[in-house]
Amino acid sequence: MANGKMGIEDYMQQFVLGINYYFHGFNQYITMDVSLLQRNIKDASNAEAAEVGMTAADFDSVKENDWRFRVMYQFWF
């Protein structure tokens, strides 16, 4: 993670909203979307950390939000 510690992914959720516009008989289109990826990262217990040769202090819990904005244009010959 950003603070140099490790984490165990508890769950991930992704939300995506997009729009497409086709023109010239579907030979060309432009698409735009925005995406939010949420990751919930939890601490490791002493037993879980020992299984990978680390201590529980090497792990941290955090919730991360990653945003993505994308625009694409496609032309079919």
How far is it, in rounded angstroms, from Cα 3 to Cα 60? 9
Q: Count CB-CB contacts under 10 A for residue 41.
A: 19
User: How confident is the model over 10-24, as pLDDT tens digits?
Assistant: 889 999 999 999 988
How far is it, in rounded angstroms, from Cα 25 to Cα 29? 10
pTM over 0.85: no
User: How confident is the model over 14-68, as pLDDT tens digits?
Assistant: 999 999 999 887 789 999 999 999 988 888 888 888 888 888 888 888 888 999 9
